[in-house]
Structure 1
Amino acid sequence: MTHEVVVLALDPVNGYDLAIPSQIFGSAGGDRYRVRVCGLDTSPVRVQSEYAIVPDFGAEVLAEADTVIVPGTQLAGPRQSGELPSRVAEAFATIPSSARIMSICTGAFVLAAAGLLDGRPATTHWAHAYTFRQLYPNVLLDENVLFVDDGEVLTSAGLGAGVDLCLHVVRRDHGAEVANRAARYCVVPPWREGGQSQFIDRHVPDGGTDGTAPTRAWALRHLDRPLDLATLARHARMSVRTFSRRFRAETGLSPGTWLVQQRVRHAMHLLESTDLAVDDVAGRAGLGTGASLRQHMRAAHGVSPLAYRRTFRAG
């Protein structure tokens, strides 16, 4: 059955965020998704970039949604006082209890004002994290990640992270092959390394040509090898101390944390795309043994390698 996605544009809406779901889900192919953009009614909705859009649908289509997405917005109540306007609350009340709820960027303020994020992990644009915490102290905010998947409630960081979240949902729904195909069509990466922390002001790297990017690229080609900090620093022709400092400045992560993430991601790719035994996958990803791979995947994603393979090879 076609999955009904409804994007709720709340005045004034972020135009970039608004365009993401239609493009990503529409690129999944076939009749997997139907995406409709609605307002509270069919009146023009102002966009932050000084123009307006006229939605074809009003809030009545929310009652038919399998997934509801709230793009970034400057709606005063959620952004300034922590209150949900009555018309928005009435619209939210029509959403089926079985529906998946998602936000992009500052759309998380709306979900929080509706009480949907209390006690849950969530994220939003890093630049608005302080204000978010002041308004919604009961939300477990993490501004260092690109998105948070908490089951049927999902939130993404700013702007481009909405692409990451929508691709993740396609991947969750239909597997890696469909998500990768959608990403290729949209000319975007199917996943991005690191988290939102790499884009926060304090993590902007220094200029110059002696950064760690070439070493990161080299490491990704040799994940099956032993890669300790000294080896990485030697490849970058830096001292261990300088390499560690520059690496964290450019990625927001320590070299060890980054390397484990890349090894796990490579293992997940092998689980999706090959029939290799779990021990062989672990070896090719540089994680040593199947037991080590199981430990890392449960810690990072809460799932075993075989369960992950069953889920994503099925798609």
Structure 2
Amino acid sequence: MEGSQHYYMNVSDVICFDILVSAMKAENQSFGTDFLLVGLFQYGWTNSLLFVVVATIFTVALTGNIMLIHLIRLDTRLHTPMYFLLSQLSIIDLMYISTTVPKMAVNFLSKSKTITFMGCEIQTYVFLALGGTEALLLGFMSYDRYVAICHPLHYPILMSKKICCLMVACAWASGSINAFIHTMYVFQLPFCRSRLINHFFCEIPALMSLVCQDTSHYEYTVLLSGLIILLLPFLAILASYARVLIVVFQMSLGKGQAKAISTCSSHLIVASLFYATTLATYTKPHSLRSPTRDKVVAVFYTIITPLLNPFIYSLRNKEVTGAMRRLLG
């Protein structure tokens, strides 16, 4: 009897030792280990309601962007540089909101809130690539409006089809390269702390709090990258529209003024919302960060902006609404 008790005690000790070793290995190894997403809200009895709300927003955003892409493709009157860039923006928003929101919605109903290491890495890369591409594309769109209003006679030359394609290719390439560099660097760092990501998706600022080595030098790199990818295009937009407003108010025709102001104000509203929130996230020092505040701010550039973009550009644009009427007969 005593021998059997001694045997069971030894087995128990071995099991506890194995669990301890496994936990130590999980902390010291990054690959093959899942992360746990805290989410936007604390999960509870409202999970089903939150799932319905998020799923509805996602569906409306998908529908709006798909309709805008479809209208621009079908209506030959919208085959202009401005709407070509706008269709690219809708494609980006379509992919952008699909990168984070479906996983967020599923977590409301799923018992497991985990995301694999590879899944987190892919989500981070795609999110950064699309965000950087959109930031540059919005800057190119402001340049298009600047040329159309301030230099209308040179518009066919300065905004030719070749130049438009080069702008789009430059935006996609720059966003993708920037995302690749940051993703490869972050995911080779040792994640020695808790695997609990205090966010609703894998974002670099949230992941950096899990790294167990000094990341101050890398934070300067993130700051520099944010200033180039985000701040420079935003300053270019403000400079372009400052010049546009000067030219617009010198116009003698009230109808032309109204059309120009309506088009530019729509773009400026979207750009300001996108740049202000992303700059607030990626240029803030780690010591000043608040996980709750970061999650709320992230909602604006991950969900609100892709949701509003197609409606701001379509409902306030007579050419788009006219194309919709023609399509509906």
TM bin, normalised by shorter chain, reads under 0.3
TM-score by length of 2: 0.24
Larger helix share, 1 or 2:
2
Structure scoring higher RCO (CA < 8 A, sep ≥ 6) equals 2
Higher strand share goes to which structure?
A: 1
